[in-house]
Amino acid sequence: MKKKILYILPILMLMVSSCQKVIEFNGKITEPLLVINSIITPDSVVKAQLTESRFFLSNQTTFNTVDNSTITLMVDGLPKENLVHTDSGYYVGSYHPSVGDSISLLVKAPGKQSLSCGTNIVPAPAIMSIDTTSVFTGISTPLININKMTQKIDTIGYSQSRTLKIILHFTDMPDIRNYYRLVVITKTNSIIGSYENYNFSFDDIVSGNANQNSVGPPTSLTSNKYNVFSDDLFNGKTYPLTFSISDNIDHYAAGNSFLFPQKEMIVKLQSISKSYYLYLQTRASTKNNNFFSEPVQVYSNVTGGIGILGSYTESKRVIKLE
């Protein structure tokens, strides 16, 4: 068996070395395109960032910003205002879009082709109720305190892990195709500070994550890392959306209750535009780790350039975690 391995290794080394070939690029280096990125919501004024595209063989790690352009905000086909440049290619207006608005951005930059893009502001989803159920896993760990004066180690309580299962009932608007995004934040306030956790398990059938253990913030590598879905399975109906979070319940001994952290779960259900939905879907697919997978082009709804103009509205619920 060992002799066979010795024979195979040189062959493999030869195959690997034969695959290494330097190919010179003899094509045309294209001129940079204007790139606009803007996600708008009624909760904020209209903002956009304008940059230039980067040649794919370039060693440059950043994108050049475009600071000398005119960006006109159009509402329902009529000029509303010109966005004002602040810094780093960011342009800001004063208008808060409203539900039902048809928003367009027209961009003119010296020496560049003009670009345009548009989106509609859809109504926020109607959350009917949120039901929660706690399931304790039975795993407990002691809570330890070290007295800085005496260096004495005391057990001041214990922490018990649990899974919190949530069912969010919401009503989908009929007759039109709707797109959604789920955002769940667990916020903890304690005497040592505050922090937020974006990790949660989204295994509802509409998520496409039925075989995934968990999904989380945009840094996680999952099939649906932005937690978007459509109403294909429940158009015009009230739907029970299911997800869960894992956290710990701390039990403190008498006299140490001041250490007890205050926790809350912030649930945001967003109605997002089709353009934003397609953009997030294709952007997530570009992170595919499969070496043999086909490259995915990130969706753009911009004419005369590339980028995205998307929109969302949201309904939010805050739940105290006892």
What is the full DSSP assignment across 87-155?
A: STTEEE-SPPP-TT-EEEEEEE-TTS--EEEEEE-PPPPEEEEEEEEEEEEEEEEEEEEE-TTT--EEE
CA 258 to CA 250: how far, in whole Å? Answer: 12
Contact between residue 51 and residue 65 where contact means Cβ atoms under 8 Å apart: yes
CA 79 to CA 112: how far, in whole Å? Answer: 21
CATH 3.30.365 fits 34-120, yes or no: no
Backbone angles phi, psi at 280, to 5 degrees: -65, -40
CA 180 to CA 226: how far, in whole Å? Answer: 10
Check residue 258 and give its pLDDT: 55
Residues in the chain predicted with pLDDT less than 70, given as ranges, are: 1-30, 55-61, 142-156, 210-223, 251-260, 286-296
Check residue 316 and give its pLDDT: 96
Check residue 31 and give its pLDDT: 77
Q: What is the CA radius of gyration of the chain?
A: 26
Beta strand 84-85 with 90-92: parallel, antiparallel or unpaired?
antiparallel
Instruction: For residue 30, count other CB atoms closer than 10 A to its CB.
Output: 9
CA 1 to CA 297: how far, in whole Å? Answer: 47
- The closest alpha carbon to 164, from 250, 305, 34, 265, belongs to 265
Q: Where in the chain is the domain with CATH 2.60.40?
A: 34-120
Contacts of 75 (CB under 8 A, 6+ apart): 95, 97, 101, 102, 103
Contact between residue 269 and residue 182 where contact means Cβ atoms under 8 Å apart: yes
Check residue 82 and give its pLDDT: 98
CA 119 to CA 313: how far, in whole Å? Answer: 13
Q: Rounded to the nearest 10 degrees, how much is the dihedral formed by the CA atoms of 279, 281, 287, 293?
A: -110
Could you tell me the pTM of the whole model? Answer: 0.79
Check residue 293 and give its pLDDT: 43
